Structure 1
């Protein structure tokens, strides 16, 4: 079975480079990839509407981290066009008041001239603790934030990331949830919560991995996706 059309949505302050090790394995299985961006839009809804404009008629929809929230916004709007949903290292819960304050304070602490991407401390926290000081991974993550720039950083940091847990039961397409065993940004309980509320969904856990699954364990992630999409 060939995978066909797939739309990949990145996460907070990540761009197309997030998928560098993911593209080839998926394309070898017949995937025709559309790499969505989150560099435009003031709300999750606006981001979803922009992505829909470039989506093929029918497609598998994958959302990573913040992209998972946007993916579900897309699904609400065009459910008849989404053949399957893949949620990677994400949640349906709202940011806590504390999380909102931290993000807003970070955005207010820099200016257009002082911004130079996310700090190594915050980037390291998104990785497995044993990789939190890996210079190659930190450089790659920081470069994505630098390319996206100050304006995108401010907009994404101040986004209203509301809960849509109450809507999960409405999802009727086949759904795969992928979580990381050692994710310090999203708890395993959040993945279980989605799996329990989305009827028929499947949960897979990637070992030895932090939040940044597509760059920490791309081979394992792709294998889970390919096995799930191509099984009879």
Structure 2
């Protein structure tokens, strides 16, 4: 007897130097209401190219969630194929294009990372920008994040870092599907004010600010993020 999976497909796009472990708790927590699949964004030479790769293997229609760097890929998917997105979630991300200064910073970072020596992943110096101050001594969380960045490695760092981020405002304004815009209260990389600006582009968007969380909200406050995404999937 043929059994059909009636759960809607949910494509999950990880962030810079992130993999499926970023979404571990959401994959488990939403398994009863969505068929979650994590895309591999580690191989490509542009955000447009990554969006094309995701679309090439995606079902005809799907829910789409993008975190940080993955949020830029999600916006490019919305630009290329808005009719295929049933609902969109943007987590701890931005819709602004890279400035010339930011492009120069990225080039400088790639030069530094390309120097001989061990790739160190998420260092202690970088952590305060990514997680809330209260979580800096959470050894299990810190180890999970560092292990994830080390799995991705130097080559993925350089590829993703070199990809130019484009302005997504026009693509977002055209969307009519349900949209969740979410970020951590203490996200210093893409702060709540930026997400308020992003949500204002889409009258149908729901803005959720997750308390006691920095940039890595799916890992820092997994229950709160899963709860918000469950509500979004039911909208």
Q: After TM superposition, is the score higher than 0.5? A: yes
Question: Paired residue for 1:65?
Answer: 68
Where 2:125 maps in the other structure, the secondary structure is helix
Question: Paired residue for 1:52?
Answer: 55
Question: Paired residue for 1:187?
Answer: 191
Distance in 2 (alpha carbons) for counterparts of 1:61 and 1:146: 26
Question: Paired residue for 2:218?
Answer: 214
- Stretches of structure 1 that go unaligned for 5 or more consecutive residues are none
- Stretches of structure 2 that go unaligned for 5 or more consecutive residues are 1-5
Give the drift of 1:3: 5.5
Asked if residue 197 in structure 1 is aligned to residue 201 in structure 2, the reply is yes
Distance in 1 (alpha carbons) for counterparts of 2:123 and 2:104: 17
Where 2:106 maps in the other structure, the secondary structure is helix
Distance in 2 (alpha carbons) for counterparts of 1:5 and 1:15: 18
Distance in 1 (alpha carbons) for counterparts of 2:151 and 2:28: 23
Deviation digits for residues 3-41 of structure 1 (CA, Å, limit 9, x no counterpart): 51100000111001111111111002x210111111011
Instruction: Assess, with a 3 A threshold, how the Cα gap between structure 1 residues 96 and 3 changes in structure 2: closer, same or farther.
Output: farther
Give the drift of 1:133: 4.0
Deviation digits for residues 131-165 of structure 1 (CA, Å, limit 9, x no counterpart): 13433222211111111121111111222112222
Alignment check: 8 A CA contact 2:65 2:88 kept:
yes
Question: Paired residue for 1:82?
Answer: 85
Question: Paired residue for 2:160?
Answer: 156
Question: Paired residue for 2:109?
Answer: 106
RMSD of aligned alpha carbons: 1.7
Of 18, 32, 40, 1:14 maps to 18
Question: Paired residue for 1:172?
Answer: 176
Of 140, 149, 162, 2:144 maps to 140
Distance in 1 (alpha carbons) for counterparts of 2:38 and 2:226: 16
Question: Paired residue for 2:3?
Answer: none
Deviation digits for residues 101-153 of structure 1 (CA, Å, limit 9, x no counterpart): 33322221133652232322213320011113433222211111111121111
Give the drift of 1:43: 0.7
Q: TM-score, normalised by structure 2?
A: 0.91
Distance in 2 (alpha carbons) for counterparts of 1:72 and 1:94: 12
Where 1:109 maps in the other structure, the secondary structure is helix
